[in-house]
Amino acid sequence: MWLLAGVLSRTGKECCVLIALVLAAQVGATAQRFEFRQPHMGSVVTITFYADDEATANRAATAAMARIGALDRRLTDYDPRSELSRLSASSPTRSDASGRWLPISGDLWTVLDAARRIGEDSDGAFDITVGHLTRLWRRARRKHQLPDPLDLAAAEQSVGFEHLQFDEAHRQVRLRKPEMRLDLGGIAKGYAADQALMELKRSGVRQALVNAAGNLALGDPPPGSIGWRIVLAPDGDPTAFPESVTLKNCGVATSGDIWQFLELDGKRYSHILDPRTGVGLTTQASATVIAPSAMLADALATTACVLGPRTFEPVREAANDIANHVDRATGERTESRLSPAFRRWPNVHVRLQWLDNGEARQFNSSDFPAIEPADPVPSNQPVR
């Protein structure tokens, strides 16, 4: 039913579909715009693309959504039957203090390996071994109270990539600490968006955009356009004008605490955790990252929020990657460059916004794409 609904929402009447198909045959396969939606990964996934006919569109959308559904079942930590949950359950016990090796699928291996490299490059600012801490903070937001300090201290003992071993020869993984729990919430949606885009391309659809909860995988641009127009996330400043960038063949992701946080005694704790402290971020910030893949953009957007202003380091010596930035709050020009965590990844562009004593501040990397005015969008839409 969702396929039919997707077509009808585009045309309004079935007769319009028939007319469009006849016209397409007359002018030589004119591409038509299709949009499909399905709930996946705790949110709604939207696929927008251009295809020559309805049959092609239905086949492509079915394959892409099926791929996302399969990854959802494999990479979630909410389902105890998922592959990720089974891996977490293999952590050591009293009778098996060393843990056991567990062969894993190619999908899980790809995501874990990428997460490990990003974690190492960022000196632990990104870390998927925070699963035990994530559960404590989820419960804290539901109950509207901070986690017990003793529980936090115990959970922190299982955090760290050094406790996650990889056997590349046999593609298997071993958890080395009791009660280790993995959380792919900062990288899995981006990977799913990439994979859905690949499925569309296998079906012959290349002019496409996949939006997995604000994690975007962009293919070739729409007909007659130079790229997809992406609305940048609001930074919480009600006086700021909406802005957009035009992009193609890349990944885009936004992370921040604009919508998910716990506020107690005047202090705000983000749903994004700092793996090095075990506590939700208290600096209100959002980051948009443009990268070669949605998976990389997803993970680095979270990393940028954890690093905060340290994402951009003050320049102390001459270098080719120096960028000049104008501080939105003061109008002052500042020289800075991306921290090593980001310079290790080519073709990555970062936009960081945060509040400093109530003042909105913003930095963009020097090669961030040209920013254009955008029409207003609902404040609960991070990127579209």
Place of tokens 């492509």: 60
- Are 143 and 261 found together in one domain? no
- Are 253 and 350 found together in one domain? yes
- Are 45 and 101 found together in one domain? no
Q: Does residue 139 form part of some domain?
A: yes
Q: Does residue 235 form part of some domain?
A: yes
pLDDT of residue 95: 61
Q: Does residue 197 form part of some domain?
A: yes
Q: How far apart are CA 36 and CA 3, in angstroms?
A: 7
Please say whether the dihedral angle defined by the alpha carbons of residues 83, 84, 87 and 88, taken in this order, is positive or negative: negative
CB 214 within 8 A of CB 232: no
- Are 50 and 126 found together in one domain? no
pLDDT of residue 267: 74
CB 326 within 8 A of CB 215: no
Below-50 pLDDT ranges, the chain:
1-28, 318-320, 322, 324, 326, 377-384
Q: Which two tokens stand for residue 78?
A: 């909410």
Structural domain for 5, as ranges: 1-65+186-223
pTM, full prediction? 0.84
CB 189 within 8 A of CB 197: no
CB 262 within 8 A of CB 141: yes
Q: Which residues contact 297 (CB under 8 A, 6 or more apart)?
A: 190, 215, 216, 250, 251, 252, 253, 289, 290, 291, 348
Q: How many domains does the chain have?
A: 3
pLDDT of residue 320: 47
CB 71 within 8 A of CB 197: no
Q: What is the CATH number of the domain that holds 89?
A: 1.10.3980.10
Condensed to tens digits (0 to 9), the pLDDT of residues 309-338 reads 889 887 655 444 545 454 555 555 566 788
- Are 251 and 318 found together in one domain? yes
Q: How far apart are CA 279 and CA 192, in angstroms?
A: 27
- Are 244 and 330 found together in one domain? yes
